[in-house]
Amino acid sequence: MQTKPFRIGTRGSPLALAQAAETRARLMAAHDLPEEMFEIVVLSTTGDRVTDRPLSEIGGKGLFTLELEEQLSSGELDFAVHSSKDMPTVLPNGLHISAYLPREDIRDALIGRTAPSLTALPDGATVGTASLRRQALVRRIRPDIQVTIFRGSVGTRLRKLDEGHVDATLLAFAGLKRLAREEVVTELLDPEHFPPAPAQGAICIESRIGDRRVDTLLEAVNHRPTYDAVSCERAFLMALDGSCRTPIAGYALCDGDHLRFSGLILTPDGQKEYSVEVDGTRTEAEALGRRAGETVRTAAGPGFFETWS
């Protein structure tokens, strides 16, 4: 192996930095390499800079990835570490997701200030979130709840909650665990009733297609069950054309060679929905996700995706 350090690209949020550090630690352990062999390069992305509007409004794909991908393509970086959930379904030419680390918990967590659970929140309570999926899933269970746009890093959102801006907020349990903040959680939401976003809880590594040196390095940390589950979930998103304005949820679970996927699309008010379940072998993960996406898209019909945009 070469002696020049690998350049790892990441965003600068505390969660992104924790994920880059976890990636480096796993690579050091897998290859018995010293820390000096990995240089963590921090870049700011559009998604980091615009924090006062919902992401669905800023539009465009790759708000959290574009700047990193430019530097990957130009050879400035060797690979980039991302939250898979923030990855666009279609990547720039020449780049691919080459590895997934073992997935964290996939569930959403409620952090309640005035009550500990979604069902116990007071009548007309406010919940802070910028996610259309979380908004729709909250309204599906509690149509009386008002949703306030909440953006910024995990720490910023928890501070806004503390300051009393809202009664509760929702965050990925995975991110809270990675930041060692899981003690704030008052309720973990069951995926059967409150399904996570496709790819939630999984760290992925993006690199140049055909970079043998990087492929060899990353192979040792790639977790196949996560790779298959998230590939299935991303295929579901892609088949739905991943419009940022459609609340989409879904998760795949691997059990030995078997994979089961549950998907859901709903209107932002949570009052209308289409769900799908498929299962098969892990080797057909992508095909299963694609089929599930096509199934709900056909069931919903073209009108469904236009009713609110």
Ligand X SMILES: NCc1[nH]cc(CCC(=O)O)c1CC(=O)O
- Any contact of residue 237 with ligand X (CB under 6 A)? no
Of positions 9, 88, 201, 270, contacts ligand X by CB under 6 A = 201
Among candidate residues 14, 287, 228, 236, the one with its CA nearest the CA of residue 100: 228
- Any contact of residue 88 with ligand X (CB under 6 A)? no
Vertex 135: Cα angle to 183 and 69 (nearest 5): 80
Stretch in the footprint of ligand X (CB under 6 A) among 138-146, 166-174, 215-223, 243-251:
166-174
Instruction: Identify the residue whose tokens are 């530097």.
Output: 71
Let me know if 86 is a catalytic residue.
Answer: yes
- Any contact of residue 10 with ligand X (CB under 6 A)? no
Q: CB nearer to ligand X: give 63 or 296.
A: 63
- Any contact of residue 80 with ligand X (CB under 6 A)? no
What CA–CA distance (Å, rounded) separates 48 from 12?
8
**Pairing mode, strands 38-43 and 6-11:** parallel
- Any contact of residue 83 with ligand X (CB under 6 A)? yes
The answer to whether 258 touches 279, Cβ cutoff 8 Å, is yes
Q: CB nearer to ligand X: give 65 or 295.
A: 65
> How many angstroms separate the Cα of 186 from the Cα of each of 120, 151, 177, 189, 247?
11, 20, 14, 10, 24
Q: How far is the CB of 292 from ligand X (least distance, A)?
A: 20
Stretch in the footprint of ligand X (CB under 6 A) among 38-46, 80-88, 110-118, 259-267:
80-88
Q: CB nearer to ligand X: give 125 or 172.
A: 172
What CA–CA distance (Å, rounded) separates 31 from 10?
21
From 32, 48, 86, 279, active-site residue: 86
Q: How far is the CB of 171 from ligand X (least distance, A)?
A: 4
Tell me which DSSP letter residue 84 carries.
Answer: G
- Any contact of residue 151 with ligand X (CB under 6 A)? no
Contacts of 1 (CB under 8 A, 6+ apart): 31, 33, 213, 217
Phi (first) and psi of residue 122, to 5 degrees: -60, 160
- Any contact of residue 107 with ligand X (CB under 6 A)? no
- Any contact of residue 86 with ligand X (CB under 6 A)? yes
> How many angstroms separate the Cα of 28 from the Cα of each of 32, 72, 220, 253, 282?
5, 21, 10, 29, 29
Stretch in the footprint of ligand X (CB under 6 A) among 78-86, 180-188, 259-267, 295-303:
78-86
Q: CB nearer to ligand X: give 194 or 304.
A: 194
- Any contact of residue 206 with ligand X (CB under 6 A)? no
Q: What's the gap between Cα 197 and its chain centre? A: 6
Q: How far is the CB of 40 from ligand X (least distance, A)?
A: 18
Residues in contact with ligand X, shown as a per-residue x/- string from 167 to 196 under the rule CB under 6 A: ----xx-xx---------------------
Residues in contact with ligand X by the rule CB under 6 A: 83, 85-86, 171-172, 174-175, 200-201
